[in-house]
Amino acid sequence: MSERTGLDPFDVAILDAVDLLDAGEPVRCSDLLAAVSALEGVDRRTAWPVLLDLGLPWRRHLPLVELYGDAGSVTGDPPGDAEHVEVRLADYGVLALAAERGEVGPVPIGLVEGSWAVGGPVPPFDPAAVVGALLAGAPDAGPPAPPGGGNVEGDVEGLLRGSAVRLTVGCTIRPEGGNLVITEIPLGVPGGQVFASIVDRAMRYTEGADGRRSVPVRRRGSPVVGVRDETTPHDGVRILVTLAERADLLLARDWLRGVWPVTVELDARLPAPMAERLRSWDRGDGSGLRTLRDHLVA
């Protein structure tokens, strides 16, 4: 991993390729993948998910590229063909390359993003909290914070001390007019299965009176009488869970949290105690940190 950003060398190579091809306009991802394949000798099918990961805001606090076109969705819809998706450097990507090239001081992208997004054990942290801690010389940057939101519970203190722990990661569930609404699906939760799993756990289907259609019937013990997916690309995740009349909201929320993958468990471990990671991180002249702080508040 790079000491100046915490990025993988292949991530940096992709950013370099975007910068090389960018002439003021977004670049077709298929052209970029061809260039990366020629420059790095990496198969396009291997490079494509890495490129996508660098630009998906529900997987990264600091997207390094901007993607235009069908790049998939937070609920798990697959991306379109690379021929029909375009890419350009995001402001964070420009800053990352500047840090890699020594034009500004180091930028703590690795400290912020962790490795959960790629199947590793290091959870992400809030970028403003990380930058604030580094600028102030503080030993704490708060608890893990998935890019897409949601709740993280468990032995967070043990994690920050450097222990291997198992954390509970769950969707955000809010009350609304006697019902419940899921508004965030955090990193590590297979979003496309949240809606389907709630429906499967809450309802069963029986043959209608005409013998030709299925009728949903509430399962015994379920407080849920209906589920509607109101997620849109513009407004984000919204799953409306309609409750039975006089259902207790707290008990219904606990029941919902018991449905996989509304709540999942993820292994977590830091490479060193968080206080040590913050203390030993090379701030350089601080220019990279200050620029990142300005981007975060812009």
Does 167 map to a domain? no
Q: Confirm whether pTM is higher than 0.95.
A: no
- Domain co-membership, 289 together with 202: no
Which residues constitute the domain of residue 250?
172-261
Does 162 map to a domain? no
> Rg of the Cα trace of the chain?
22
- Domain co-membership, 247 together with 288: no
pLDDT one-digit tens code per residue, 228-268: 999 887 778 899 999 998 899 999 999 999 999 999 999 99
Are β-strands 179-184 and 172-176 bridged in parallel, bridged antiparallel, or unpaired?
Answer: antiparallel
Does 39 map to a domain? yes
- Domain co-membership, 179 together with 240: yes
- Domain co-membership, 104 together with 14: yes
Q: Report whether pLDDT(75) > 80.
A: no
Three-state DSSP at 180 gives strand
Q: Report whether pLDDT(116) > 60.
A: yes
Mean pLDDT of 262-284: 95
- Domain co-membership, 245 together with 291: no
Provide long-range contacts, Cβ within 8 A and 24+ apart, for 134-140: 134/108, 134/278, 134/281, 134/283, 134/289, 135/286, 135/289, 135/290, 135/293, 137/279, 138/278, 139/274, 139/275, 139/278, 139/279, 140/274, 140/275, 140/278
Mean pLDDT of 153-167: 97
Instruction: Output 202 or 41, whichever has higher pLDDT.
Output: 202
Total structural domains in the chain? Answer: 2
pLDDT band at 146 (very low <50, low <70, confident <90, very high): very high
- Domain co-membership, 19 together with 94: yes
The CATH number that applies at residue 184 is 3.30.1360.40
pLDDT cut 90: percent of the chain above it: 70
Q: How much is the pLDDT for 208?
A: 56
Q: Report whether pLDDT(76) > 90.
A: no
Average model confidence (pLDDT) across the chain: 90
Does 62 map to a domain? yes
| 8 A C-beta contact, residue 15 and residue 93 | yes
pLDDT band at 78 (very low <50, low <70, confident <90, very high): confident
The CATH number that applies at residue 57 is 3.90.199.10
Please tell me the distance from the alpha carbon of residue 125 to that of residue 270, in angstroms, as a whole number. Answer: 11
| 8 A C-beta contact, residue 236 and residue 126 | no
Mean pLDDT of 24-38: 89
Does 137 map to a domain? no
- Domain co-membership, 288 together with 218: no
Does 218 map to a domain? yes
- Domain co-membership, 15 together with 100: yes
pLDDT one-digit tens code per residue, 198-229: 999 998 877 655 555 566 778 888 999 999 99
Q: Residue 225 CB: number of other CB atoms within 10 A?
A: 17
Does 115 map to a domain? no
Does 116 map to a domain? no
pLDDT band at 105 (very low <50, low <70, confident <90, very high): very high
